[in-house]
Amino acid sequence: MGQIGDPRAQRARESTSRDRQMVASSADDVVNEILAGLLSRFPMSMVAAIDESAMQVPVPDSLSIADDRKLDSPFDAVLFADRSVIVNLYGQARVNGAATGTVHLAHAGGRAATAYVLDMHISLGVFVVVFIDHVEDESDVVSGWGLPQLPPRLARAHKDGSAEYISIDSALTEILGWRSDELVGRRALEIVHPDDRETAVANWMEMLETPGLGRRVRLRHEHRDGRWIWLEISNHNRLDDPTHVDVVADMVDISEEMAAQDAVQEREQLLHELAQTIPLGLFHSDREGRILFANERLSDILGVERMATTADLVDAIEASERPSVEEAILQTIAGRGGADLELRIGSSDGVRYGALRLRAPEHATSSFSGFIGCVEDVTDAVMMRRRLEVQATFDPLTECRNRSSTLAAMDTMIKELNRQSFVGLAVMYVDLDQFKPINDAYGHAAGDQVLMVVAERLNRGVRAGDIVGRIGGDEFVVICPEVVSPAHALRIGRTITDRLCSTVKVADGEVRVSASVGVAWTDESDLEADVLIDAADAAMYASKRDGKCQPVLAETLSMSAKADRLNASGTSSRSAALPSADSSSASVIV
């Protein structure tokens, strides 16, 4: 790919806007002259136009171009791989006013052609793109405009049936450095790269079987200075033509293209190596669920040797998690954003945890579509998080909830009380009797043993959904949702005292354990948790004073009584109560 001159270079050196305008006008005249010369010399050339953003636009009507020679898009006129050439030429033309390069025409079976991109935005408001088929010698195409001559990219040679050079043009000498007398009489294979010779021979033998144009082949040729130059060769078999009896080889210098491809391959190799060394499982799937790429780490994390489809990936996940993964894949393919999931993964080592991230490309192309995914082994992080959650939620000695999580759970349960029913919430405040003497007589280890046994008995004695918390040294709280009445709450309290008032074995013998239990009940969703705790705590002290190892209820008005009270006084019916000094009868409403 080359550049046609620099007609605008002096514009940057002028100091006044008037001088710049004169230079721009002069440069535009030169570009107009180039276009006129091209259209005059090659009236059958194809013409397209792009704007200053390199977007295709109609060819201006002011150009005298037949409709059948106008192209809707210069990008569609060339092979897909050459679209970048048009973009690069456009960039050069913006700087230099004009640029030229070799492309391959899509409508002509990939035949080589020369593309000229001319900056005519001053006179026409567009960049004009002209496509010209290869000619024997293009050197005079741009002659007469006083512009620097570009390095040739197209060359031609004539060979005999044994692939010996009969003649070469000057362009091949410029491309490879060999003079005509140095190549004529030599077999072409002599300057072909050793690694490409087998391909060269196969292509030549195939071409000899049929007259006419043979299949294109890309081969490295030795430059006179020892470098290797990539040439794309189209051999035209004219051996059966008595007027020629030769093979015409049209050669295109594709060194820049191959260098770009090598750079892309190097980047792809680097990305591949990075994908294999990164500590994440990576994969790319098409829209049909076929996995097009997966690194080795993905198999290590999921415990599956080979995955051909996303169904294999889903099967590696715990069964209960699979529906959410399948839904996430469908949502990603449908373009409804990505997905971030934390999943349990089944493996021979037991359950592990993975963070799955799915993303669809923002701008899908024919070469890249579907979605990409990443799986990270987060087992250690999940375990650490759960250990921290346990430490923040549970008492390490008894494995009951700690004070803060107990009060938080109670507050949530109070707010969830159903105002439309009579179902309420009960709280049992449990305090061990004579616990300090046990510590004094048998030691703190025995005291800890008693606390653990008490916690175990409490947990075994409550219903599913009830919460047992340790809120002090020898104080426990039991929260019981869905308790229909104060009487129901008191029955639960009796069950608890029956379980606790018993003996516990310790290292040096056996100790008698009893507990005082205060019971509070409410169906008031606006009540503060501390109020309910205080009511149960006061009832617990009444039970301790009574000394009978029996629960005491912080009495609450019955629903029917509360309804009567509401009708009589207009006050709220929802309440919790504190016991009076005589806990068997009187109560104080809170």
User: Over its length of 590 residues, how does the chain's per-residue pLDDT go in tens digits?
Assistant: 444 444 443 433 333 333 333 333 445 677 788 888 888 888 889 999 999 888 999 999 888 888 899 999 999 999 988 898 899 898 888 766 788 888 888 888 788 889 999 988 777 889 999 999 765 444 444 444 444 445 667 789 999 999 999 999 988 999 999 999 999 999 999 999 999 999 999 999 999 999 999 899 999 999 999 999 999 999 999 999 999 999 999 998 888 788 888 888 888 888 888 888 888 999 999 989 999 999 989 988 888 888 899 999 898 888 889 999 999 999 898 877 789 999 888 766 678 899 999 998 876 555 567 899 999 999 889 989 988 888 888 999 999 999 999 999 998 888 888 655 658 999 999 999 989 998 888 899 999 999 999 999 999 888 888 999 999 999 999 999 999 999 999 999 999 999 998 889 888 788 999 999 999 999 888 888 888 999 999 999 999 998 888 999 996 533 334 444 444 444 433 344 444 334 333 232 22
> Are 241 and 286 within one domain?
no
Residue 522: closest CA among 574, 565, 564, 561: 574
> In the prediction, which pLDDT does 181 show?
95
Where among 87, 113, 140 does a domain terminate? 140
Cβ–Cβ under 8 Å, residues 120 and 163: no
Q: Strand 552-554 vs strand 515-522: parallel, antiparallel, or unpaired?
A: parallel
Q: What six digits make up the tokens of 40?
A: 């005059």
CA-to-CA distance for 341 and 358, rounded, in angstroms? 9
> Are 27 and 83 within one domain?
yes
Q: How many CB atoms within 10 Å of residue 190? A: 12
> Are 160 and 126 within one domain?
no
> Are 287 and 365 within one domain?
yes
CA-to-CA distance for 451 and 104, rounded, in angstroms? 86
Q: Strand 509-513 vs strand 98-104: parallel, antiparallel, or unpaired?
A: unpaired
CA-to-CA distance for 475 and 477, rounded, in angstroms? 7
Q: How many CB atoms within 10 Å of residue 579? A: 25
> In the prediction, which pLDDT does 419 show?
57
Is position 148 within any domain? no
Is position 264 within any domain? no
CA-to-CA distance for 240 and 211, rounded, in angstroms? 7
Residue 430: closest CA among 485, 481, 503, 501: 501
φ, ψ for residue 503, nearest 5 deg = -95, 155
CATH number at residue 109: 3.30.450
> In the prediction, which pLDDT does 441 show?
87
Q: In what order do the strands lie in the sheet with 424-432?
A: 467-470, 475-483, 424-432, 515-522, 552-554
**Separation in Å, CA 530 to CA 3, 19, 414, 520, 527:** 84, 87, 11, 12, 9
CATH number at residue 574: 3.30.70.270
> Are 198 and 283 within one domain?
no
> Are 459 and 517 within one domain?
yes
Cβ–Cβ under 8 Å, residues 282 and 298: yes
Residue 103: closest CA among 125, 68, 77: 77
Helix and strand totals (H; E) in the chain: 16, 26
Residues 6+ apart with CB under 8 A from 422: 484, 485, 523, 559
Residue 402: closest CA among 384, 390, 411: 390
Where among 382, 404, 427 does a domain terminate? 382
Q: What six digits make up the tokens of 184?
A: 């004529």
Is position 41 within any domain? yes
CA-to-CA distance for 131 and 100, rounded, in angstroms? 10
**Separation in Å, CA 12 to CA 27, 389, 422:** 13, 68, 88
> Are 425 and 564 within one domain?
yes
Is position 272 within any domain? no
Helices (H), 133-196: 170-176, 180-183
Is position 147 within any domain? no
> Are 110 and 244 within one domain?
no
Residues 6+ apart with CB under 8 A from 69: 44, 45, 46, 47
Q: Measure CA 455 to chain center.
A: 48
Cβ–Cβ under 8 Å, residues 225 and 177: yes
Residues 6+ apart with CB under 8 A from 241: 211
Q: What six digits make up the tokens of 193?
A: 């790269």
Boundaries of domain holding 442? 394-589
Is position 265 within any domain? no
CATH number at residue 218: 3.30.450.20
DSSP code, position 556: -
> In the prediction, which pLDDT does 519 show?
96
Rounded CA Rg of the chain: 44
Q: 547-567 as b/e, with b when 16 or more CB fall inside 10 Å?
A: eebebbbbbbbeeeebeebee
> Are 378 and 525 within one domain?
no
> In the prediction, which pLDDT does 62 show?
87
> In the prediction, which pLDDT does 117 show?
92
Where among 355, 382, 409 does a domain terminate? 382
> Are 436 and 377 within one domain?
no
Say whether 518 sits in a helix, a strand or coil.
strand
CA-to-CA distance for 49 and 72, rounded, in angstroms? 8
**Separation in Å, CA 549 to CA 389, 540, 541:** 35, 10, 12
* Number of domains making up the chain: 4
> Are 458 and 581 within one domain?
yes
Is position 389 within any domain? no
Is position 268 within any domain? no
Q: What six digits make up the tokens of 493?
A: 């309290």
> Are 583 and 510 within one domain?
yes
Say whether 113 sits in a helix, a strand or coil.
strand
